[in-house]
Amino acid sequence: MNDKAFKISVIGTGSWGTALGVLLADKGNDVTFCSMTEKKYRELVNDHENRSALPGVKLPDRIKYTMDIEEAVKGADCIVFSVASPYTRETARKMGPFIDEGQIIVSVGKGIEDDTLLMLEEIIKDEIPQAETAVLSGPSHAEEVGRHMPTTCVIGSRNKQTALFLQNLFMSDDFRVYINPDVLGISLGGALKNIIALASGIADGLGYGDNTKAALITRGIAEISRLGVAMGANPSTFAGLTGIGDLIVTCASMHSRNRRAGILIGQGKSLKEAVDEISMVVEGVYAAKAAKKLADKYGVEMPIVTEVNKVLFEGKDPASAVHDLMIRDKVAESKDVTWAS
């Protein structure tokens, strides 16, 4: 429990926003869920459970519910922004007029805006410049956080005091929080891992094994790090929770909607069929084109991202994509390690 109860607003009632709201309410905070649809609002109010997004997790009685963004955010000590990437800018624009100078908004989504190539936190800052923005990321399935399974995440903020406040706010006996000033690196790692998870799922759908998955994870983090460093992020960030940690859990777990979508594509279903069957936003699909644009912009080679784009949007056969990755030109694993002579 906190020494003080803070007023928390959770914008977006998907699985992740719900799990974090439960975490914060269980710590004794005054939590309000802001739902975008009346159907979801009624479900939460009547059932005290998010049956469609996080079934089996009972919502604490102390949580309040609203459909009014102004009511939700006015006077909140922290706003947890948990909105899928396609709706981030629109939602932030609606919130903007009601946000006070310095009010803290922590972005917990993972994605890249296709036309601007901005991270989700950057979109929020673009629409609400008066806000103090931060990010929360790491290997964390909502299904496990909602059931209080031990989890570690990282808070990214350019302001150390904001990072420390959020670390104290979120940290509990089963939710450990680290802090890091590299907001760009944290955001980028969280967004790009979804593309590698799609590739991992495609490999699973094709019937490939652990060797293939290990290769995709290892070479995937190499691609993510190359782009991140080119964009100005700290390389050590990608060796941490939002880099290799998030990549491992997303590529390996059936909780991952990106991996599940990839499995369906590897089994022969079209992109539309796979996304329809998942019936939730598959962030890696939205991030894939943006990642390829960033790779081209910064002159960074990202072969896995390139092949995923070809499979998703150009109709390339998944098995051919894996074959083309395997027969690329022979190179050294790391340019930083050299022979003595």
Tokens for 297, please give them. 């912009």
For residues 135 and 241, what is the distance between their CA atoms, to the nearest angstrom?
Answer: 13
Instruction: Name the nearest CA neighbour of 24 among 106, 83, 132, 96.
Output: 106
Instruction: Name the nearest CA neighbour of 287 among 189, 154, 200.
Output: 189
For residues 243 and 224, what is the distance between their CA atoms, to the nearest angstrom?
Answer: 8
Q: Is 110 a catalytic residue?
A: no
Catalytic residue among 27, 40, 125, 193, which? 193
For residues 252 and 248, what is the distance between their CA atoms, to the nearest angstrom?
Answer: 6
Q: What residues contact 88, with CB distance under 8 A and at least 6 apart?
A: 81, 109, 111, 113, 120, 123, 124
For residues 133 and 121, what is the distance between their CA atoms, to the nearest angstrom?
Answer: 7
Tokens for 188, please give them. 């980028």
**What residues are annotated to the active site?**
193
